[in-house]
Structures are given as C-alpha cells and as structure tokens.
Amino acid sequence: MNNPNLRAVVTGTGGYLPRRALTNDDLSRMVDTSDAWIYPRTGIRSRRIAGEGENVSDMAAAAAREALGNAGVSPGDVDLLVLATITPDTPLPAASCLVQEKLGLANATCFDMAAACSGFLYALDVARQYVLSGAARKVLVVGSEKMSAITDWTDRTTCILFGDGAGAVVVERSEGGTQNGILSTATGTDGSLASLLHVEAGGSALPASAETLAARQGFLKMDGHTIFKYAVRNMAGIAAKAVADAGLRSADIDWFVPHQANLRIIQAVAKSMEVPMDRVVTNIENTGNTTAASIPLALHEAVSDGRIQPGDNVLFGSFGAGLTWAAAVVRWGR
C-alpha cells in the first residue's frame, strides 16, 4: 500500500432487472394507496419484481457476467467474489457460492456481505483492501436483492418502496501509474438503532414457524420517519469524509451516485454536499429501492449511456439497516 502507483481500479460494470414491472397503479389495487400519494413522497412510479424461480444468485450472475464482459476479464481470472445481499437464496450456503458455480469462477474465494443498503459500498471497500494488500488482483463485487421475498404486500408503508435487481463491478489491481481508481472509502455503523429497520423472524433468535408466519414477523419492518433524519445526516457526513479523504472538495465531484431509497433523501444529501441535481444519478423512479443493488445499477446506467466519462470524479453514498452508512470516491477510468 506504500506503492504510489498502485491503484484499485473499476474496469467494468453490469446490471440486471427482472422483466416484470409493478407500477403504483398496480399497487393501488393491492393496498390502500395511489400514485398521487407514493410518487411525491418517494420519487417512485414502478419497481421490478423477480419472476417465479428467479433468485438472488440468478440475478447476481447475470449482472456479474455483463460486468466481466465489459471489463474483458475471464471468469477463471477472478480471485475474489463479494456478494452484497440480505436476501440470499438460502440461509446456507452463501449465495456467492451459487454464483461462483453459475459463472465458473473456479479460482475465486467467495463470501456474502450483509450490510443491507450499504452492502455494495462495504463490499467495494473490502475489494479495495484486498487489491491494495496484494491478496487479490481481480475482484468481482455484486449487489443483488430479491426484496419482494421479504416485503409484506399488505403493509402500504413498506411495499411501495422496494424492488428486485442486481448490479456488479469488476475491481482490478493497476500498477501502471494511472490517476484513476478508488480514491477513498468510508464506512460507519450504529447498532443501537437496529430496531428502526429489521426483519424480526427467520434467524436463530426467532426461527421461522407457523406462529411467526401468522404474525407476519418474517417481513421487513421500518420506522420511515425516524430513518429519514438519520439517513440524511449520516449519509451526508460519510460522503463529506470520503471526499476529504480523497483530497477533493465538493466542487470537484462530477457525479453523485447515491443509494436509491427515497428521492427526497437524495435531494437533501445532494444539497448538503453542494452537488446540483443535474449531476446526481437517479433511477429510483423505475426501480424503487433495490437495497444493495441500487448503487451498482444506477452506476451501470450512467456508464452505459455515456454520462460518466474517464477522469470524472464519482461520489457514492449509502445508508441502510444496521444502521449502516458508507461512501466512496472513484476517479473513473482504467
């Protein structure tokens, strides 16, 4: 890590969204809500829902396959796969092991990262450390979620928010003196606030049973009003730290790619960071909150359509269950 020419560089992106779109009008026929209520409060008009038999590992593999192709990296050359998810196919084994098999990552060490909406940036931080330490040369970082599996479709306060999907990036070691790459990462946690956003049953503390099923304890519960306050404050704070650690100022940020939880949160954090909204990447209108998949999905869209260009300083920020929060700054390009 003392080599000034050593960098962890993002070399490829990929994304996957299920075919089925569930609109606000569709939801209005399921629970007491409407587009006129949902959109002004969240910025969401529709979200994608995984098809029958379409699991987290399937979506992760699709996004990862595209990222590997865009990076020009063969599956056998991947040293490490970190899969950020809170909705794995099964409690055991890790979903990353299933993705390894689907992609043929024969030489990769694999593990899951459970940090909810901050999972992708936590995983990106891990990838950076592996690369800079010399423990890995090529790392696949994936965020994949099937939030529809833990959403209570009778709870109008939460079912309007979440969707399914996957996004991925390839992180590689570069010793060629490039000025591009991951400039900084920063993470934070406050477990005393864990009850604000949680799934009560299904773990070892309260195993799934007929009783927990009847009480709907296996679905996500959240205190949205309280979370909003913490989300804005902590996401803005960690983003400012990442920018400072990268040796930059807010004015140096070309693009802000935030976690897509709520448009009002995104607007408040962008204002705090003094980043104009026309430099903020959002796709929440058509994806909803895809948790760990939201940042890599939004990034992939902005790279694919040409908004993000080599040399651009890109800021990432997230906030989620745990409570957790994270940020990173990447100077785009190989």
Catalytic residues: 117, 259, 289
- What is the rounded distance in angstroms from the CA atom of residue 296 to the CA atom of residue 266? 16
Instruction: Using alpha carbons, select from 98, 108, 86, 93 the residue that is nearest to residue 164.
Output: 86
- Amino acid occupying residue 69: G
- What is the rounded distance in angstroms from the CA atom of residue 289 to the CA atom of residue 287? 6
Classify each residue of 81-117 as buried b or exposed e, where b means 16 or more C-beta atoms within 10 Å of its C-beta.
bbbbbbbbbeeeebbbbbbbebbebeebbbebbbbbb
Helix, strand, or coil (residue 275)? coil
- What is the rounded distance in angstroms from the CA atom of residue 198 to the CA atom of residue 217? 10
- What is the rounded distance in angstroms from the CA atom of residue 181 to the CA atom of residue 188? 22
- What is the rounded distance in angstroms from the CA atom of residue 112 to the CA atom of residue 249? 33
